[in-house]
Structure 1
Amino acid sequence: MVLTVDEVSRRYPIHWLVWNNQHDELKTNLENKKYTEEELELKDPRGRTPLLLAVTLGHTESAQALIDAGADVNCEKDGWTAVQEATSSGNAALLSLVLSRRDYQRHVLRSCGIPELLRKLSLAPDFYVEMKWEFTSWVPLVSRMCPFDTYKVYKRGANVRVDTTLIGFENNHWQRGDRTYIFRGQGRSASLVELDHEAGTAWCERVEPAAPGAECPAPSARALQQRLAAPISINYLDTDKISFERNKSGIWGWRQDKTEPVNGYECKVFSANNVELVSKTRTEHLDKARRSSPRAPLAGLLALADSDTSAPSTPLLTPETEEPPRSRSREELNVVSWEEYFSGEAMERDIGRPKEITEKVQKFKATLWLCEDYPLELQEQIMPILDLMAAISSPHFAKLKDFIQMQLPAGFPVKIEIPLFHVLNARITFGNIFGTESGAAHVQCIAEGRRAACVLDDACFELGRGYRDAAAPEPRGEMDHDERLMHYAIQQSLMDAGTHDDQVDVWEALRGARPPSPLHETQLQRYEHCYILSYLISLNEQFLYI
């Protein structure tokens, strides 16, 4: 149904101003609080909020006015977010605006959820469990490259610690490391610490409700170039058609429900059918060379990074090579009339740049091993941990969380095998609960009959010594005690002859100050050896001179 101008401006007043890019009037109305919050997030007949419409049309000034008024940047249509639409426009200024605001709103949403997360953690019983991740593939070469890792999860009160050695996948290589994440609840706030045991560094962040008016810094020019030079991709599991079926064992006529033991627990085996893995890629913002440039095959098969933040598969743009992608004019972006758009009827094409989408859909079968008497509770104990790890660690935790949030059959999923990408599956197994199978550091298992629990030491959630701030510069190497004595001896041997006042005192050479207390007898002996060594060096030099 075709609407008149009055009908459109009355039903969708903000959309109408955005469509005509009347940003001055829009800004004035927003500053005067003329619109309600519902109108600010109202969707038009095509399913776009005013902000998403402004971004899709490339109207930077209107988008700025809506963002200043508090519009939600985490909006989407057909799975494509405002950040991805800004990337598609090729407008670096618009992308910077939307990206910085999205990061800020994510930070606010995350920090506001901290009190509720702390409440859930405090109410849940304490536990220790190990999550074994095994990555498999039907491709022989890829299967040989797939690693495995065991996440060790400690939970006591509102404190959580996770140890891992698998960080992610980048540049066709699995990223290994030795990391520990420590989340410590403190009242209504929390602290998050990431320890890199190999580098000896500690990265600390205070997580608390964001202060009003705080803003995230704008992304760097390099980060914007990376996004503008890379395809836009989304990957998700389509769960609308999933159905669960109990697996059978035996031969025809004697078939029965299948059960298997997993880490000492008898589990029922289920299959999740019609699991569809959907991958979509957009390239309309790239030039022809980048659209057709070959991509490293394993990078496409195994990339575990979130597609929204993936690095480009082609070299970054540099001023010496070519110009960065340019945003197109309104005439290029918008060839659809307002009558067509607001009518809600089918259109030959949508607004914005003509989308160039490559879509792949592949069906998989997931497998679950469920136990009804497992000592852990999925919703109370495991889901808060998955929420936390999905936010601070690898994105495959987010995929596991999305799968578990479905309406699963009764029981705890002791073992799960789900698809991550078209050729990559993940098998997750829970084991060593409370440290009953094998001992764990800082964990004391308490067993009484078939019931078990554990007590975690305070040292489990402490940083320990020997770590430096990850943001601090690399420390300069210091000489050990013997090396400094040798250095002093050589320095003394090279000095010209002079009075006693010309000589450098031992403590001035080693410490830069005199000792606050008498020296120990053994230390004095070492200094005597130092003087003897310097004397021998000087004799050797005189001998060589002669």
Structure 2
Amino acid sequence: MASNGSTEVDQNSSTEDHSFDLHRAAFHGDVDEVREVLETVKLDDLKSQDKHGNTALHIAVMLGYKAVIEELVKHGSPVKEKNNLGWTPLDEAISYGDRDTIILLIKTLRGQIAAGIVERRQELIRSLVALEDFHINLRWEFHTWVPFLSRMLPSDVCRIYKKGASIRVDSSIGNFQEMKWSRGDKSFIFNGEDTNSSLTMVILDNEKKEFERKKLLRSDDNHGALHERVTDLMSHPIVYANMSTKPITVSRALAGWWFFKGPRSEQVGEYNTDVYDITDLILISRKRRDHLTPEQIKEFEHLQKKLESGRIEEKDFEDDKEDRDLIPSMPPPEKPTITWDQYCHAPTDQDPPHLGRPMDLKVDKKHFKASVWMAEECPIKLQKLLDILEVIVPYKHFHKLRQFVKNKIPEGFPVKLEIPVFPTVTAIVTMEEYKTCDTQDSKFLIPRDYTKFEPKENEDNCKASS
């Protein structure tokens, strides 16, 4: 069979497990064999992971076989699957440093996420319609023990309106990732009554008075914005943060002095709450810097030292993307000398053999305590609220929130949560207001004086070519 720049096939391989034929073909970069195997496999087989947790797509990305990668994603190989070390194919693509591959995987990932949302569309709409119409204000605040830093961290009141099968979210924080954030007055509108087969969201920029329609089924994106996203990924560490909840313990918080202490209760807005302490939360942060230049690594280490010493300035955190040059593709790493047989028989009690660029890895483990304020009254079923918000709210922290509330919290409704989101930063989420109401229809419509957002194609092409 023809080979796509592959390493030499190990003719003496003793591996007889044909369940990993696709992995083996990807390992050797044999695109013809990959196509043959893909004709016989089911979609679930593309999710198959070897003893190291790698899918065939992981292997092809780490080894840089672009034709194989294209075949795998065309047939639906999952981009979000993590291997035993917690890395996805997209993480490995960032490490490898080929812009075209990163763009392909970003587009594929968006399409796969959107397809999952659309598959749950009817369930989502039924959940929306079954709920009473409401208005919720959720306050997000970020705090830290680092002196003088708390006043620089962003805060936001996220306003959520629900009517029938429509929902609107108003927010002033566009993103908060790796101690960078963007601000703006944005609204996100989802109309479940839209009969369009693809799930659609309208994004309003209330400062510029512009609107944009996003079809979540489509994986394409504005050309310049997509290249800007790739540059952002290639200029930051690859981070995998995992909050271990297995050892956590939940106990009533106490108030008072000495032996006069009793269970702690507090009024949060209109709710009487019981306060619980959640201990033994472990946040493990793994940062890869394989793809970064020595200058970029030095810059991040300098920022970390400033953060830990409290000598941080607000300008260090603002996400300023203007006038930033696009980072070109990196030279590929050397191909590994390991054979397929050696890879298959590598022990699992240690790190698996890495096939891509040599790792520059830093691991931090921090122990945290969290608190939760529980109300007996349940104005809305929590899981239903999270189902809705996770679909349309542009906060990655809702995934962390879902993980948190699924594990061992007491019965009731968490009116207030205090949870770690970074090793030095804690988020406090408070439901300031919940009320059933009949929101005006105009809240879910595009204002007449708003104009459609149109990207500047010439500017995008200029940036991309650079």
> Which residue of structure 2 aligns with residue 351 of structure 1?
354
Q: Segments of 4+ in structure 1 off by > 6 A? A: 170-173, 214-219, 298-303
Aligned positions of 1:82-101 closer than 5 A:
82-101=89-108
Provide the residue aligned with 2:406 in structure 1.
Answer: 405
Q: Note closer, same or farther for the CA distance 1:221–1:377 as it changes in structure 2 (3 Å cut).
A: closer
CA 1:201–1:428 in 2, change beyond 3 Å: closer, same or farther? Answer: same
Q: CA deviation at 1:348?
A: 7.2
Q: CA contact under 8 A between 1:386 and 1:398: conserved in structure 2?
A: no
What are the equivalent positions in structure 2 for 1:518-529 lying under 5 Å apart? none
Counterpart of 2:391?
A: 388
Equivalent in the alignment of 1:340: 342
Give the alignment's TM-score, normalised by structure 1. 0.70
The corresponding residue for 1:205 is 214
Alignment partner for residue 50 of structure 1, among 46, 52, 56? Answer: 56
Q: Which amino acid in structure 2 is aligned with residue 246 of structure 1?
A: R
CA distance in 2, matches of 1:385, 1:187: 16
Q: Report the Cα distance in structure 2 between the residues aligned to 1:175 and 1:315, rounded to whole angstroms.
A: 16
Match 1:245 to one of 230, 251, 265? 251
Percent identity between the aligned chains? Answer: 27
1:459 matched to 2:459? The reply is: no
CA deviation after TM superposition for structure 1 residue 172, in Å = 7.7
| Contact 1:232 1:283 (C-alpha < 8 Å) held by counterparts | yes
In the TM superposition, residue 324 of structure 1 has moved relative to its aligned partner by 4.6
1:326 paired with 2:331, answer: yes
Distance 1:387 1:194 in 2: 16
1:226-278: CA deviation from partner (whole Å, max 9, x where unpaired)? 43343222233222222211112233433322211111321111011112222
Whichever residue aligns with residue 416 of structure 1, its letter is L
Kindly tell me the number of residue pairs found equivalent between the two proteins: 431
Partner of 1:416: 417
- Structure 1 residues 304-338: Cα deviation after superposition (integer angstroms, max 9, x where no partner): xxxxxx999x96466xxxx75211242xxx23333
Change (3 A) 1:311 1:241: farther
**What is the distance in 2 between the residues matched to 1:183 and 1:367?**
32
Distance 1:311 1:66, change over 3 A: farther
Residue type of the alignment partner of 1:370: M
Q: Post-superposition shift, 1:296?
A: 6.1
Question: 2:135 maps to what in 1?
Answer: 128
1:180 matched to 2:180: no
Question: Structure 1 residues 147, 294: CA separation in 2 closer, same or farther (over 3 Å shift)?
Answer: closer
> How far apart are the structure 2 equivalents of 1:270 and 1:367?
6
For residues 80 and 170 of structure 1, the distance between their equivalents in structure 2, rounded to whole angstroms, comes to: 18
Distance apart, 1:357 and its partner CA: 0.6
CA distance in 2, matches of 1:430, 1:181: 19
Cross-structure match for 1:137: 144
| Map of 1:5 onto structure 2 | 13
C-alpha distance in structure 2 between counterparts of 1:64 and 1:415, whole Å: 45
Partners of 1:174 and 1:339 lie apart in 2 by 46
Instruction: Summarize the Cα distance change of 1:466–1:184 in structure 2 as closer, same or farther, 3 Å threshold.
Output: same
Deviation at 1:142, TM superposition (A): 0.7
Contact 2:346 2:353 in 1 (8 A): no
Residue in structure 2 matched with residue 164 of structure 1 by the alignment:
171
CA 1:292–1:386 in structure 2 vs 1: closer, same or farther (change >3 Å)?
A: same
Letter in 1 for 2:409: L
Measured in 2, the distance between the counterparts of 1:284 and 1:472 equals 33
Matching residue of 1:372: 376
Residues 423-434 of structure 1: matches in 2 within 5 Å? Answer: 423-434=424-435
Structure 2 CA distance for partners of 1:454 and 1:349, relative to 1, 3 Å:
closer
Inter-partner Cα distance in structure 2 for 1:386 and 1:412: 16
Equivalent pair of 1:275/1:364 in contact (CA under 8 Å):
yes
Higher Cα Rg, which structure: 1
Q: Which runs of 5+ in 1 are unaligned?
A: 304-309, 435-452, 474-546
Distance (whole Å) between structure 1 residues aligned to residue 68 and residue 325 of structure 2: 30
What amino acid sits opposite 1:325 in the alignment?
M
Aligned to 1:537: none
Return the offset for 1:366.
Answer: 0.8
The letter of the residue matching 1:24 is D
1:340 Cα deviation after fit: 2.6
Q: CA deviation at 1:412?
A: 0.4
Higher relative contact order, structure no. (Cα contacts within 8 Å, ≥ 6 residues apart): 2
Q: Which residue is 1:24 aligned to?
A: 32
Cα distance in 1 for residues equivalent to 2:170 and 2:72: 42
Which of 284, 290, 294 is residue 284 of structure 1 equivalent to? 290
Change (3 A) 1:223 1:457: closer
Find the aligned partners of 2:351 and 2:187 in 1 and give their Cα distance: 53
Structure 2 letter corresponding to 1:97: L
Judging changes above 3 Å, is the alpha-carbon distance between structure 1 residues 65 and 389 closer, same or farther for their aligned structure 2 residues? closer
For 1:90 and 1:15, how far apart are their aligned partners in 2? 22
The structure 1 residue matched to 2:118, chosen from 108, 111, 115, is: 111
The 3 A distance-change label for structure 1 pair 225 and 254 is closer
Q: Which amino acid aligns with 1:337?
A: T
Whether the 8 Å CA contact 2:15–2:344 is kept in 1: the answer is: no
Instruction: Report the AA paired with residue 387 of structure 2.
Output: P
Per-residue CA deviations over 1:442-479 (Å, capped at 9, x if unaligned) read xxxxxxxxxxx433332332333311112278xxxxxx
Contact 2:251 2:278 in 1 (8 A): yes
CA distance in 2, matches of 1:90, 1:164: 33
| Partner Cα separation in structure 1 for residue 261 and residue 57 of structure 2 | 57
SS of the aligned residue for 1:87 comes to: helix
Are residues 110 and 218 of structure 1, via their aligned partners in 2, closer, same or farther at CA, if it must alter by over 3 Å? farther
Pairing of 1:481-492 with structure 2 (within 5 A): none
Q: What secondary structure is seen at the aligned counterpart in 2 of 1:267? A: strand
Summarize the Cα distance change of 1:358–1:203 in structure 2 as closer, same or farther, 3 Å threshold.
same
Whole-angstrom CA distance in 2 between matches of 1:116 and 1:136: 36
The one-letter code matched in structure 2 to 1:26 is V
- Kindly state the Cα deviation for residue 80 of structure 1 after the two structures are TM-superposed: 0.8
Map of 1:469 onto structure 2: 452
Residue 100 of structure 1: CA displacement?
Answer: 2.8
Measured against aligned partners, the alpha-carbon deviations of 1:35-86 in whole angstroms (never above 9, x if no partner) come to 3334333221212111112112222222222222222222221221101101
Letter of the 1:198 counterpart: E
